[in-house]
Chains A and B, each alone.
Chain A
C-alpha cells in the first residue's frame, strides 16, 4: 500500500517503483523502498535534469530532459505542440522536453537583448524533423515563465490552406476574412494570456457594426471575448488585438514584453490554395490575418522579440528537400524578414541521441528485447540517422 500512495503523489517515479516491486518478494517491502530511493537519483541524472525552469538551464543541462509542470501545460501550450508530441505526452503522462543547443542560444539572446531598440527577429531553420517546433515551444515556455505576453501562432500554413469559408472583409474591400481560424486562435490566445487580458487597456475606439463598438479604455479581454462570440468580425478583432499589442508592448507604463512566436512563417509569403468565387487564386496579402501578421513581424515596434520557424512540412508548392531560409521564404519573404538572426537546428548529437534512447527505455517505450542491446542501438542510429522525428516514428512500433 505504501507503494501505491507514493505512486499517486509523484507520477514520474511510479514506473521505477512499480519496476522494483516484482523483482523481489513481497516480504521485504521496506527494503525495496529504500533501494528504490537510492536508485532514483542515479538513473535520473544521466538524461533527466531536475531544473524545470527554463531560466536556470544552461549548457551543462544540454541533452537532458526537463519536465514541463502539468499546470503550465494547458495554459502555455493549448495549440502549439506538434501532434505526435501531444500523443507522446498523453502516453507517457508527462511532458518532457530535451534541452538543446538552439533553444539555449535563443534564450540567452532573449536574456541579453535590449528592449528599447526595434525588435530582433530570430529564425529557426533546419532539415525536416530536426526539432524546430520543439525548440520554439521551449522558448515560448521560457517567455511565459518570465511573464511575457506570448503570441503563439501554431502554424501559419493553417491560415493559407484548407479554409472552407472566405468572407469578404468588412473593413477593407479587397481583403478576405477567415472567421473560423480567427476565432479558434482568439480562443487559444485567451487561454494562454489570461492574466494580461484585464491589465491591458485599449487606446482606440473600434466600431464593428452600426450598433456595436468597443470604447477606449476597455480591457483587452472584452475585445477578445467579443471576437470569440461574434465570429463574423473575428478576423478584424485579431487585427485590432495585434495593433494594440504592438503599440503598447514597449510602453513605459505597465510595459510588458511581447513574444511573437510563429511556426511555419514561410507560409505567409508563398502562395495559397484558396480560390475566390471566380476560381482565381488568392494572394496571401489579400487575407486579413496574413496581412496583420506581416505587420507584426516587421520590426517597426520595440519591446519584444519575434521568433519564427521555417517549416517545409505544411508548406505549399515547396520541394521536400528545401530547408534553407532563402529557398523556403522566397525573395519577398526574405526581404521582409531581413535582417534576422538565423538559428540552425541540427540533428541529434551523440549525447542527445543517447539521452533520447535512455528516455525511451526508461518510459518502457522500447519493448522489443533486441532494442535494449548495443546492437539494437546501432541499428537505430543507422536507420534514423539521428533525426529526431524519424527516430520517434521508428520507436513507435518497437
Chain B
C-alpha cells in the first residue's frame, strides 16, 4: 500500500520534473493572494499562451489514466496519514505532501506537489480533423472556431429570448419588470480567462465584440431565461473587507477599554501597540517619548495618519514596542499595528474606509535580491568598452 502510494506520488513528481514549470498550478495561483493592486485577480495573466503550445502532447486516454491514478493515490495518501479517504480535501493533500516531502527550496513552484491532472496538465485542443482530413467543426476554416461558435450560440440565445418575448406579447403577458439577472458583485471574464476557456487566441477587438453581444443579451427584459448561460461567463468579485478579523474590545480593571495591535511586519521591522481609550494622546515607544524616538517629522506623521484619518487624535494613549529595521520601517510597522488595534473601536463602515485608505494593507516591499554578475539588485558593473 505504502509502496504503491509512494510510486503514484513518485510518478507525479517525475512528471513534474519532466515537464517544464510553466504548467503552473492554476488553482493554487487563484487562491494564493497575488499582491497586485488590480481589482480582479487572476493567475491566467501569468500563464503562457495556451493555443500556441501546438498540437496535443497528451492523449485523452492518457489524461483519463492520470485522473484514475490521482484518485487512487489520494486514497492511499489518506490512509497513510490516518485520515478518512472520503473526506480528504486538496488542502489536506497539500499539507500531507509538505509533511512527507519537506523542501528547503524557496520557489513555491519548485516544491513537490500533488494536484488533479486537470490543474497540472494544461487544457489543449484535441485534433480537429478526422482520418480523412475533414475537420469536425463546421467553423474550422474561420481559424477561431471556438470563438465564432460561442458568438453564434450567444446570438441564438438572444433570438430565442426575443421569440419568447414576442410569444408573451401575443398572449398579453408581457411585463416590463420581469426578474432580472443580478450582476452585482461579479465581473465579466477577462480576455485571458476567455482565451483559456476557449483554448485559442482571440484579439482585443474580438473580446470587445463578445462583451458587446453579452451586454445586448442582458438588455432584453426577459434575459433571465438564459441566466445559466450568462453566469458561466461571469466571475464573482471577492469582498475584501470581510476577510478582516476584528478582535473584540478588552477591558482592564478600571473599566478602561484597550486593545492590542499584533506585531506587524514592514521590511523586517515588527511592532506591537497597546491602545488605551480615554487617554490624553501620549505615546511611548520602547519606554521613551515618541518625540525623542522619532526625531524625524515624517515618522511622526506616519504614526499620526490612522488617528487623524479617523479624527480621534487626542483620545487614545499608546504603548508601543518596536524592533528591527530602520526608523522608516519601524514607523510603518507601528502605523499598521495602530490601524489594526483601532479596528475594535470602529464600526463596519469605518473599517471599510480604513481598508480603502490602505491603512490595513501590509506593505509587501522588501529588499530586492542581489543578482550575480551585477553589483546590486539593478545596478550593473561599470561597462568598459575594452
Chain A contacts to B: CB under 8 angstroms: 127-128, 320-321, 375, 378-379, 381-385, 387, 390, 394
A382 touches B292 (CB 8 A): no
B297 touches A321 (CB 8 A): no
A22 to B194, CA, bound (A): 67
Name the contact of A378 in the complex, choosing from B289, B290, B291, B313 (C-beta under 8 A): B313
Name the contact of B281 in the complex, choosing from A127, A321, A381, A387 (C-beta under 8 A): A381
One of B97-105, B142-150, B203-211, B301-309 contacting the partner: B301-309
Q: State whether the Cβ of B244 lies closer than 8 Å to any Cβ in chain A.
A: no
B300 touches A383 (CB 8 A): yes
> Which B-chain residue is minimally distant from A384 (CB atoms)?
B291
A389 to B301, CA, bound (A): 17
Q: Render B255-282 as a binary contact track against A, CB cut-off 8 A, 1 for contact.
A: 0000000000000000000000000011
A383 touches B301 (CB 8 A): yes
A390 touches B292 (CB 8 A): no
Q: Which residues of B contact A387 (CB under 8 A)?
A: 291
Chain B contacts to A: CB under 8 angstroms: 281-283, 288-292, 297, 300-301, 304, 307-308, 311, 313-314
> Which B-chain residue is minimally distant from A378 (CB atoms)?
B313
Q: Which residues of A contact B301 (CB under 8 A)?
A: 383
Q: Which residues of A contact B307 (CB under 8 A)?
A: 382
> Which B-chain residue is minimally distant from A394 (CB atoms)?
B297
Q: Which residues of A contact B311 (CB under 8 A)?
A: 375
A394 to B297, CA, bound (A): 8
A292 to B368, CA, bound (A): 60
A179 to B290, CA, bound (A): 43
A382 to B307, CA, bound (A): 10
> Which A-chain residue is minimally distant from B314 (CB atoms)?
A378
A selection of 19 A-B contacts at a CB cut-off of 8 Å is A127-B289, A127-B292, A321-B288, A321-B292, A378-B308, A378-B313, A379-B308, A381-B313, A382-B281, A382-B313, A382-B314, A383-B300, A384-B291, A385-B282, A385-B283, A385-B289, A385-B290, A387-B291, A394-B297
A394 to B301, CA, bound (A): 12
Most B Cβ at <10 Å: residue of A321, A381, A382, A384: A382
Q: Which residues of A contact B283 (CB under 8 A)?
A: 385
User: Given known contacts A378-B313, A378-B314, A394-B297, is B304 in contact with A383 (CB within 8 Å)?
Assistant: yes
New A-B contacts (10) at CB < 8 Å, excluding given A375-B308, A382-B314: A127-B292, A321-B288, A381-B314, A382-B300, A382-B313, A383-B297, A383-B300, A385-B283, A385-B291, A387-B291
Q: Which residues of B contact A375 (CB under 8 A)?
A: 308, 311
Closest 10 CB pairs of A and B: A378-B313, A385-B291, A383-B300, A382-B304, A382-B313, A387-B291, A390-B291, A321-B292, A378-B314, A379-B308
Distance in Å from the Cβ of B212 to the closest Cβ of chain A? 47
Q: Which residues of B contact A394 (CB under 8 A)?
A: 297
Distance in Å from the Cβ of A206 to the closest Cβ of chain B? 48
Most A Cβ at <10 Å: residue of B291, B304, B308, B313: B291
> Which A-chain residue is minimally distant from B307 (CB atoms)?
A382
Distance in Å from the Cβ of A200 to the closest Cβ of chain B? 45
A118 to B25, CA, bound (A): 88
A383 to B314, CA, bound (A): 11
Q: Which residues of A contact B297 (CB under 8 A)?
A: 383, 394
A1 to B311, CA, bound (A): 48
B304 touches A379 (CB 8 A): yes
A385 to B290, CA, bound (A): 8
> Which B-chain residue is minimally distant from A377 (CB atoms)?
B313
> Which A-chain residue is minimally distant from B292 (CB atoms)?
A321
A379 touches B292 (CB 8 A): no
Q: Which residues of A contact B313 (CB under 8 A)?
A: 378-379, 381-382
> Which A-chain residue is minimally distant from B312 (CB atoms)?
A378
> Which B-chain residue is minimally distant from A393 (CB atoms)?
B297
